[in-house]
Amino acid sequence: MSEKIKSEMISRRGVFSLLGIAAALGSVPATLLAVSDAEAQATTTSAPSGAQTGTQRRQERRTHRTERRQERRTHRTERRQARRTGRKERRTERRTGTKTPAQQ
């Protein structure tokens, strides 16, 4: 009972090919009848004030991301320069034994 007769078995590939043929035969007459001379209409509705399109939102995100990145770089450079200046002042103080005017 568990054995299936080979003529009753059909593979997925066979099913898909049958569906493809059926779809092709069914859609050909419909496409020939559905052809019209209508042209696409341009959308004339503009977005309400305050609303942005997806492209505008994306561009705004990119701009903010670039600004934040540049701000991080600037702060990082300033911190690095402050560390270098501090090290230089401490080194000078150790070598000469005097304090700089900023440290007095």
How many domains would you assign to the chain? Answer: 1
Instruction: Answer yes or no: is 83 within a domain.
Output: yes
Q: How far is CA 68 from CA 53, 54, 94, in A?
A: 23, 21, 39
Instruction: Answer yes or no: is 81 within a domain.
Output: yes
Instruction: Answer yes or no: is 82 within a domain.
Output: yes
44-90 confidence digits (pLDDT tens): 555 566 788 999 999 999 999 999 999 999 999 999 999 999 999 99
Per-residue confidence band for 23, with pLDDT thresholds at 50, 70 and 90? confident
Range of the domain at 84: 68-96
